[in-house]
Amino acid sequence: MSENTRLVQVRQHVLKRNDTVARALRASFRAAGTYVVSLVSSPGAGKTALLEQMLGALHDRHRVAALVGDLATDNDARRLARSGAPVKQIITGTVCHLEAEMIKAALDDVPWEGLDFLFIENVGNLVCPAAFDLGEAAKVAIVSITEGDDKPLKYPDIFAVASLILVNKIDLAPYLDADVDRLIGNARRVNPDVEVLTVSARTGQGLDAWLAWLDARRIGQAA
């Protein structure tokens, strides 16, 4: 057996094991009535900034919690915990994505049953998180207008598996030569039916529409 064949087999085994854990998590979340959303993006696109806004907006009328993955530091968990919601940092060390086992283990420390929403912020990376099911109901991909309008074409997998794409940092549009329509067009080339919202974690623009999307999805899951 060649070294390459062996590597492919190991990778398939890891993904298969991940999928088994993820399927069990998804069944538990559905049974508990918890709508689980994961956020994926390149580093710095604004996952934590958007989650800070969401947790703040949802906390008074829904039971919400968040898990957040990073290679190192608990900076993001400390930012999100200011909302008052339960938050748990997952330190991945050298691993460039979250895996279903990490979510399962983290939930031992977060009282998640009875939650309306559980948010999972993945490690900032447009490649590895695409392949790993975390048991979430929806993956939300975030792309900021500072990154260039070709990112959906260069990293198609992550945009193809997203249920919603948030185009963030729209407040910076007057200062950049970003072509937001072309960015959205490129996202639709890899995921023709995907919903897209333009948002700003800084000004709050578009966040009501995202809240409405989340509420509708949660109600849809319960139906």
Ligand X SMILES: Nc1nc2c(ncn2[C@@H]2O[C@H](COP(=O)(O)OP(=O)(O)OP(=O)(O)O)[C@@H](O)[C@H]2O)c(=O)[nH]1
Per CB under 6 A, which of residues 38..77 are in contact with ligand X?
41, 43-49, 76
Could you tell me the smallest distance in angstroms from the CB atom of residue 48 to ligand X? Answer: 3
Phi, psi of 36 (to 5 degrees): -110, 125
From 39, 53, 54, 76, residue interacting with Mg ion (rule: CB under 5 A)? 76
Q: How far apart are CA 98 and CA 95, in angstroms?
A: 8
Identify what 83 binds: ligand X, Mg ion, none; CB under 5 to 8 Å per kind.
none
Q: How far apart are CA 132 and CA 70, in angstroms?
A: 15
Q: Which is nearer to ligand X, 76 or 99 (CB)?
A: 76
Q: Which is nearer to ligand X, 21 or 38 (CB)?
A: 38
Check binding of 89 to ligand X (CB under 6 A).
no
Place of tokens 């939650």: 115
Check binding of 47 to Mg ion (CB under 5 A).
yes
Which string of DSSP letters, residue by residue, matches 118-151? EEEEPPS-SSGGGG---S-SEEEEEEETTS-TTH
Q: How far apart are CA 10 and CA 16, in angstroms?
A: 10
From 101, 171, 179, 215, residue interacting with ligand X (rule: CB under 6 A)? 171
Residues in touch with ligand X (CB under 6 A) = 41, 43-49, 76, 124, 168-169, 171-172, 200-202
